[in-house]
């Protein structure tokens, strides 16, 4: 017998609560539930077959039909919500397809509303970058800057088009000042008082969006998004953005990306009394998939560990491209 045991040392033994899987399950402070997961989905106009996204193995640009099937599967797996991103056939300076009643996202929203009704929460990303020929999130001034207030008019119109088509939640992601207020006013004015706003309140100018720009075909043709998205060096302005969005009528707030910003997730979660979402973005997905494909880490464990970290940091909702897979795994276990 060890002399330590003889002496009644150590007095505290935290390992007692880690001994068996049943004990660990009993004392786990954080759990994942499929209902808290939101699946981002891409739907592209004018394609005959779903198109794989090379930098996001397992993710595709859907056709309208394949979207319906995948949305059904996600819902059957218990995923809490779906958020749609559209890729139009034709792009122009002002992103005209974004608020076209027959634009691809509006068509997809009508499809999914008919198929799923209230069985899921149907959301639409609300931005212009997928729709503009220049790839920026708003309309441009003659000098080539993103024109904040002219863009708000576009966002207001997109919000109404999406709500008309069945979106229950719209998610403005363009980081224009006043976007939540402009959208709220437009929705209410059009009779869509029940349509909720999930504000991408805290959105950093991040390298981790790289694969998404391939998936959504929206890389800016010139410059970058740093004049509207936040500087990764700053935390204080994240809280300011959240406060402003809540004052403007946001129903839920989001922090994006996730993993590199868990400190921000925690600070926001401590500050607000609305649901806080975190977006596990395309680059986070790609990193794990690429490392796993090389045999460098255990894919399934890494996925679950990142997701539980989001929850532990205070995110109530998580947007993840793994939502359907994880929801299934959770129901099996
Ligand atoms: C903008 C938008 C972006 C993402 C979601 N909405 C890209 C960007 O700001 O460049 C990124 C999501 C991801 O990387 O998974 N409409």
Distance CA 241, CA 230 (A): 10
List the beta bridge partners of residue 230: 204
Check pocket membership of 125 for ligand 1, CB cut-off 6 A: yes
Distance CA 285, CA 246 (A): 29
Q: Which atom of ligand 1 is nearest to the CA of 40?
A: 15
Taking only the tens place, the pLDDT of each residue in 272-313 is: 999 999 999 999 999 999 999 999 999 999 999 999 999 999
> Mutate which of 43, 58, 209 to test ligand 1's pocket (most atoms within 8 Å of Cβ)?
209
Q: What distance in angstroms lies between residue 127's CA and the mean position of ligand 1's atoms?
A: 9
Check pocket membership of 127 for ligand 1, CB cut-off 6 A: yes
The most distant pair of C-alpha atoms in the chain lies apart, rounded to whole Å, by: 82
Q: Which atom of ligand 1 is nearest to the CA of 219?
A: 10
Binding site, by residue number, is 213, 225, 241, 282, 321
Spatial CB neighbours of 240, under 8 Å, sequence gap ≥ 6:
none
pLDDT at residue 155 greater than cutoff 90: yes
Percent of the chain with pLDDT over 90: 93
Residue 1: pLDDT band by 50, 70, 90 thresholds? Answer: low
Say what the pTM is: 0.96
Q: Which atom of ligand 1 is nearest to the CA of 208?
A: 14
Concerning whether 69 is annotated as a catalytic residue, the answer is no
Check pocket membership of 282 for ligand 1, CB cut-off 6 A: yes
Q: State the average pLDDT over residues 216-222.
A: 90
May I ask the CATH architecture of the domain 31-332? Alpha-Beta Barrel (3.20)
From 252, 259, 271, select the one nearest 309 (Cα to Cα).
259
Distance CA 27, CA 142 (A): 60
């Amino acid at each position: 017998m060890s002399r330590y045991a003889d002496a009644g040392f150590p007095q505290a033994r935290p390992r007692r609560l880690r001994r068996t899987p049943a004990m660990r399950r009993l004392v786990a402070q954080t759990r994942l539930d499929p209902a808290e997961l939101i699946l981002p989905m891409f739907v592209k106009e004018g394609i005959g077959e779903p198109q794989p996204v090379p930098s996001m193995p397992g993710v595709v640009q859907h056709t309208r039909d394949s979207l319906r099937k995948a949305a059904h599967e996600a819902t059957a797996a218990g995923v809490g919500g779906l958020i749609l991103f559209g890729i139009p056939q034709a792009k122009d300076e002002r992103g005209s397809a974004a608020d076209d009643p027959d634009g691809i996202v509006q068509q997809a929203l009508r499809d999914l509303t008919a198929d799923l009704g209230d069985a899921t929460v149907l959301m639409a990303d609300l931005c212009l970058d997928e729709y503009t020929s220049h790839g920026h999130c708003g309309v441009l001034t003659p000098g080539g800057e993103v024109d904040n207030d002219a863009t708000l008019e576009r966002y207001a119109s997109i919000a109404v088009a999406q709500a008309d088509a069945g979106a229950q939640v719209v998610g403005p992601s363009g980081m224009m000042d006043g976007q939540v207020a402009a959208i709220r006013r437009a929705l209410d004015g059009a009779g869509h008082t029940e349509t909720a706003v999930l504000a991408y309140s805290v959105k950093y100018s991040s390298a981790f969006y790289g694969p998404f720009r391939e998936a959504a075909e929206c890389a800016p043709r010139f410059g970058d998004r740093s004049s509207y998205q936040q500087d990764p060096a700053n935390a204080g302005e994240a809280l300011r953005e959240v406060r402003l969005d809540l004052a403007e009528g946001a129903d839920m707030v989001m922090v994006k990306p996730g993993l590199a910003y868990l400190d921000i997730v925690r600070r926001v979660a401590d500050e607000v009394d609305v649901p806080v979402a975190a977006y596990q973005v395309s680059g986070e997905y790609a990193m794990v998939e690429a490392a796993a494909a090389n045999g460098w880490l255990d894919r399934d464990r890494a996925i679950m560990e990142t997701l539980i970290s989001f929850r532990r940091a205070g995110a109530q909702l998580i947007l993840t491209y793994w939502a359907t897979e994880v929801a299934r795994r959770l129901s099996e276990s």
